[in-house]
Amino acid sequence: MSIAKVKSIGNQAFSKRPALTTVNLPAATYIGLNTFCECDALTTVNLPKAAVIDELAFAQCTSLSSISMPAATKIKRDAFMGCSKLSKLQLGATPPAVVGTPFADCPSPRTLELVDSNGKPLKGNAFKSAQTNYLEVDDGDSTDELWHGWSIKKPLCTIAASASPADGGTVSGAGSYETGSTVTLTAKPNSGYKFVRWVQGGIEVSTSNPYTFTCTDDCSLTATFEEDGSADGGSTGLFDIRRENLTIYPNPTQGAVQVEATGMVMVYNANGQLLQHVPS
């Protein structure tokens, strides 16, 4: 059921409607006494403007699993009594006033998501402030971290990671994490490159690899790589020097170069062609 312009739903208006499965009331600001009581098939409810949820409004809606009401300012006695499957609730940044025990016989655990007026999850400082407000409410049990039996869901942070230059290496560990979680990003250089630093917003944040931090909000990090002066003998003309006591002189040269080294020596030209191979 979706009714776009109705601003108030009177007492018992839709109670005991077995065919009613969803409710969307985008303009309603008041949900009356017993309005949807005993609607056994009702599963989801969207009330973006509802300020007051009156007594027994959704009582005994035994299939109701989620409800969104970010503008709620007051939830009255037994409003959701007997909603045995109600495990997801969306409310705004300011805790609504609660009268009596509106969530009697709701399941445990159940999750409260704090959202803005558009139903989007709060993040960063906005979430922290709202969370504090809810946990400071006197709900009869000051020893738990719940609001009237609801655990507050921490928002997800999106952690993005990339490599610069793109062919310098790869990065693993990016993804979505719950706020406050520990994130570990690992940079793996490609052949011929070495890892240098992690950069966020143009600012170096770490030279550690792997890089471990606590996520508090969405962020994007870049692993910076640079050439390390070695290669695999390909067309670049560079090669990996793995010998001890290597001496090359004179430099610059007038046409002859003397090389002293312990072990095998291979000399390439600028096109990567092997010119000389001296076995060890």
Per residue in 40-94, pLDDT (tens digit) is: 999 999 999 999 999 999 999 999 999 999 999 999 999 999 999 999 999 999 9
Q: What is the mean pLDDT of residues 82-110?
A: 94
Reply yes or no on whether the pLDDT at 104 is more than 50. Answer: yes
CA angle at 223 for the pair 218 and 227, rounded to the nearest 5° = 170
- Same structural domain, 108 and 44: yes
Q: Which residue range(s) make up the domain with 254?
A: 231-280
So what's the pLDDT on residue 114? 96
75, 78, 82, 84 alpha-carbon torsion, rounded to 10°: 20
- Same structural domain, 200 and 149: no
Q: How far is 13 from 111, CA to CA, in rounded Å?
A: 28
- Same structural domain, 10 and 78: yes
- Same structural domain, 2 and 135: yes
- Same structural domain, 167 and 236: no
**Segment among 154-168, 179-193, 233-247 with least mean pLDDT:** 233-247
- Same structural domain, 114 and 196: no
Confidence class for position 242, pLDDT limits 50, 70, 90 = very low
- Same structural domain, 256 and 182: no
Q: What is the mean pLDDT of residues 152-173?
A: 93
- Same structural domain, 130 and 256: no
Q: How far is 124 from 45, CA to CA, in rounded Å?
A: 27
- Same structural domain, 127 and 223: no
Counting the structural domains of the chain, the total is 3
Reply yes or no on whether the pLDDT at 174 is more than 50. Answer: yes
